Amino acid sequence: MRIELNGTPREIDAGNVAEALRACGYGSDRVATALNGVFVPFAARADTALSPGDRLEVLVAMQGG
């Protein structure tokens, strides 16, 4: 299925947000996710289905100064 990940079109084989994160190499639970502009909590990722054309945003916390 084709989705937009952080503004870049991607072809992925995933049915929900949790699967999409794994497919795109985000193995950590230390990321924030939003689907079509709506925050998706960690506990809801496996139950949040994806559809073709969805916009998934993944934010990774960074340390430093």
Report the CATH fold assignment for 2-60. Answer: Ubiquitin-like (UB roll) (3.10.20)
Closest CA to 7 of 58, 52, 50: 58
Q: Per residue in 23-38, pLDDT tens?
A: 999 976 789 999 999 9
CA distance 42 to 60: 13
| The pLDDT value given to residue 38 | 98
Using an 8 Å Cβ cutoff, are 20 and 56 in contact? yes
- What are the residue ranges spanned by the domains of the chain? 2-60
**Where residue 61 falls among pLDDT bands split at 50, 70, 90?**
confident
pTM, two decimals, is 0.90
Closest CA to 50 of 3, 7, 8: 3
**Average pLDDT for 11-33:** 92
